[in-house]
Amino acid sequence: MTNEEVKNRLTEHFGEQLKNFEEPYGMLTFEAPKEKNIEVLKFLNEDNELAFRFLTDLTVVHYPAYQGRELAVVYHVHNLVDNIRIRFKVFLDIAKPDVASASELYSSANWQEREAYDFFGVNFVGHPNLIRIMNVEEMDYFPMRKEYPLEDQTRIDKDDEMFGRGGTMGFGNTQENNERIQIPQAEKEK
């Protein structure tokens, strides 16, 4: 099975609802609406041709400049028979970071969603026990969000820009960052 075959099956079933298909480093990646995350996961899991029955990873990425789409829940699923992995993203508004829980479909999602909640504050609706597992209960913020300076701002040897906070290098800190940074051909050949 190829990435093109997977993409064709998905577009056959979901049509224009799925978008931004690309293949960074050979892994098929796309975006789904947050309301469709469980429907997409179910289709990938239950379709006998696709058979993506293993949830390898579920994580979150914070893009501070993506107004209304600041948090991206990222799912990596694996077809163990054909040894193919794909990734899809669901974007959430940081003001209301609610998305349906995948714990009913994938047992491994239980702890992965707890960790994503603990560090990024994503509310996985329907999760059986969404509690902090690594940080203290009294913590009233989510430490992996790019909302705070990393260290003492008087230091000149550390630059927040290199960690996706401020600056102009394009690490999720500008709206235009949706485009890939192009490396000139002469640089690639070195």
Q: Which residue segments constitute the domains of the chain, with CATH numbers given?
A: 3-148 (3.30.460.80)
pLDDT tens, residue order, the chain (190 aa)? 899 999 999 999 999 999 999 999 999 999 999 999 999 999 999 999 999 999 999 999 999 889 999 999 999 999 999 999 999 999 999 999 999 999 999 999 999 999 999 999 999 999 999 999 998 988 888 888 887 766 666 666 666 666 666 655 554 555 554 444 444 455 445 4
Residue 39, SS3 per DSSP:
helix
Report the alpha-carbon distance of residue 146 to residue 64 in Å, rounded.
Answer: 7
The closest alpha carbon to 109, from 54, 28, 44, belongs to 54
